[in-house]
Amino acid sequence: MRLLIVSPYFAPSSLVGAQRMTSLAKYLVDLGHEIHVIHLTADTMQRTTGNSCRSTAPEGIILHPFDLPEEVPNIFANELNKGRAFDVVFEQVLESYEFDGLLVTLGPFYPLYSLKKFVEKYNLPYMLDFRDLGSIERIKKDTLLNYIKTSLTEVYAHHVEATVVKGADFVTVVCPGDVGRMQKAYKIPDDRITCIFNGFDEERTKGMDLHKPVEGKTFRIGVFGKFMIYNKAKAPLILRAVDRLRKEGHDVQIVHVGVGQDDVRQTIADMGIDPACYDGRGILDYKDGVAVMSGCNMFAMDYVHPTGLGTKIFDYIHLNKPVLVVAPEDIYFAEFISQFENCFRVEDEEEIFNAFKKVITEQIKTLDDKVDADAFSRRHQNKRFEALVKKYLNARKAK
């Protein structure tokens, strides 16, 4: 199979969004498929995200990089400029190779603007992978003013997305809760959409001792990724609960790998909490971050999205240690985590405090002794991706 993947964010980007297609491309190449990837150059990825590019593209993948022009104040001009820059490399690649199929991961969404024209011209079957939900997520209906504003900017994007979704052979999303939203918005039949998780990346942690004993007496609560960004009102209660535990004589500390440590430290200062309760390590490479998390006793996170999944939950499942989640009970994530014995969904300070204390005093060591961690690995998700691609490409050939 010769497959073209469109993934603007790809290795060497270290962003979570880049790892989905980087992992899949490597998996498919290792199986003997010829995989081409259209992606942004490292310079453009770093310029547009502010994150350094620290990973390495897997061997055997045929790469087709492109740059984006500098941004201009006009949002419409920006999107058109991005679309044109993508179109140049897209057409060059399609002119140079004959592909069995195309897989486009989203967002960003500018590759969709001319997609219909190109797939019709080259008679190319395609699948869409919605890591983000695009216009149905961006259109805000909370106030009349927001609805008017976002409708004016998103009506064209929504039309484009509806058109390309209609022509897609298959659609994937990263969260089960998003399947229904996409079907409602775009009238997608049950047999043309499914959820494929992001999963934890076992390939990048090979040879590591992921369950090494914690050194010293400090009880470490790991936070891997974003902290106090999703729920700015309630996430600081985690800090307050840790401070209370420390005042009771428990040697407890939050160990944070990810963005936002300066904001966390400022919040600690504003709340008058002992700064020793927090150890911010900053942004680390995935493997280094997992190594730090493996030395923790449990994990904590906050989440509020109604249908999404906090991606780092998969790493927590892999490491198999207790998890505390500050989240409302009526979101999909709350339902998802309820399957694990020692995952504590909490909302107020007292619940957070009691959950931490329970894990400490009862010496709870695992998230769930019966968990099938491999079901949440990228390897397992990649296997499902390959089966879907082959199934729908073969169906197209049979017509």
| 228-276 pLDDT per residue, tens | 888 788 889 999 999 999 999 999 999 999 888 889 999 999 999 999 9
The CA distance from 379 to 202, in Å, is 7
Residue type, 354: N
The CA distance from 383 to 34, in Å, is 16
The answer on pLDDT for 150 being more than 60 is no
The CA distance from 387 to 384, in Å, is 5
Least confident of 3-7, 14-18, 103-107, 367-371: 14-18
The answer on pLDDT for 142 being more than 70 is no
CA atoms within 13 A on the CB side of 172: 24
The answer on pLDDT for 55 being more than 80 is no
Residue of 114, 104, 195 lying closest to 384 (CA atoms)? 195
Residue type, 90: F
- Give the 3-state secondary structure of residue 226: coil
| 246-258 pLDDT per residue, tens | 999 999 999 999 8
DSSP 374-385: GGGBHHHHHHHH
- Give the 3-state secondary structure of residue 160: helix
- Report residue 15 as tokens: 């962003």
CA atoms within 13 A on the CB side of 128: 28
The architecture of the domain spanning 2-199+377-398 is 3-Layer(aba) Sandwich (3.40)
**Which residues of the chain form CATH 3.40.50.2000?**
2-199+377-398, 203-374
Q: What is the pLDDT of residue 139?
A: 61
The answer on pLDDT for 153 being more than 70 is no
Q: What is the pLDDT of residue 259?
A: 83
Label residue 140 by pLDDT band (50, 70, 90): low
| 337-349 pLDDT per residue, tens | 999 999 999 999 9
| 311-338 pLDDT per residue, tens | 899 999 999 999 999 999 999 999 999 9
Residue of 296, 285, 351 lying closest to 324 (CA atoms)? 351
Q: What is the pLDDT of residue 119?
A: 95
On average, the pLDDT of the chain sits at 90
Q: What is the pLDDT of residue 90?
A: 98
Label residue 199 by pLDDT band (50, 70, 90): very high
- Report residue 87 as tokens: 């179109």
CATH topology of domain 203-374: Rossmann fold (3.40.50)
Is the distance from CB of 174 to CB of 194 less than 8 angstroms? no
